[in-house]
């Protein structure tokens, strides 16, 4: 998992009624900057890459695929760092 902290965790949950949720314990992301994460080629501060590459396409691809299937994608910051991204149907 590229956008996490050393020793961090990632959790994936699927609910047949509600959708898919992915959470991690990565760096803190200000709530006001979350919409930027869905823009193509957008990365936040360099420390979000934690030495990894990345083109800033991940969540923009997720959002495009979700929209193509009639899903809604949302993201919210986790207390203490990281994000929870949900695809709901």
Per residue, the 3-state secondary structure of 41-65, as one string, reads CCCCCHHHHCCCCCCCCHHHHHHHH
Helix (H) or strand (E) holding 30: none
Contact 21, 12 (CB under 8 A): yes
All structural domains of the chain with their residue ranges? 10-88
pLDDT digit string, tens, across residues 9-37:
999 999 999 999 999 998 889 999 999 99
User: In CATH, which of 3.30.70.3400, 3.30.1360.120, 3.40.30.10, 3.30.565.10 is domain 10-88?
Assistant: 3.30.565.10
- pLDDT-derived band at 46, boundaries 50, 70, 90: low
- pLDDT-derived band at 48, boundaries 50, 70, 90: very low
- pLDDT-derived band at 78, boundaries 50, 70, 90: very high
Please state the pTM of the whole predicted model.
0.84
Q: Give the C-alpha distances (Å, rounded to integers) separating 32 from 36, 80, 86.
A: 9, 16, 17
């Amino acid at each position: 998992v590229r956008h996490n902290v050393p020793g961090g965790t990632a959790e994936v949950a699927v609910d047949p009624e509600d959708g898919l949720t992915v959470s991690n314990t990565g760096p803190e992301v200000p709530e006001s900057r979350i919409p930027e994460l869905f823009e193509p080629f957008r990365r936040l501060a360099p420390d979000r890459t934690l030495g990894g590459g990345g083109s800033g396409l991940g969540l923009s691809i997720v959002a495009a695929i979700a929209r193509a299937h009639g899903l809604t994608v949302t993201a919210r910051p986790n207390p203490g760092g990281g994000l929870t991204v949900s695809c709901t149907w």
